[in-house]
Amino acid sequence: MTQVSQPRRTRILPASNLAPEEVSQRQEKRDAFAMRCRPVFERLRPTLIETHYNWHIAIDPETEQYLIDPTLLGIMEKIHNVYGNTNEVKLTIFRLNDTGTCGRL
Predicted TM-score of the model (pTM)? 0.73
Q: What is the mean pLDDT of the chain?
A: 85
Using pLDDT thresholds of 50, 70 and 90, give the confidence band for residue 16.
Answer: confident
C-alpha 14/C-alpha 76 separation (Å) is: 24
pLDDT value for 102? 66
Question: Could you read off the pLDDT of 40-90 as tens digits, one per residue?
Answer: 999 999 999 889 999 999 999 989 899 999 999 999 999 999 988 877 778
Residues 19, 24, 29, 31: what is their CA dihedral angle, to the nearest 10 degrees? 150
pLDDT value for 4? 65
Domain ranges of the chain: 21-95
Whether the per-residue pLDDT at 104 is higher than 60: the answer is no
Q: Which residues contact 61 (CB under 8 A, 6 or more apart)?
A: 33, 36, 37, 40, 92
Closest listed residue to residue 60, CA positions, set 23, 86, 98, 94: 94
pLDDT value for 25? 93
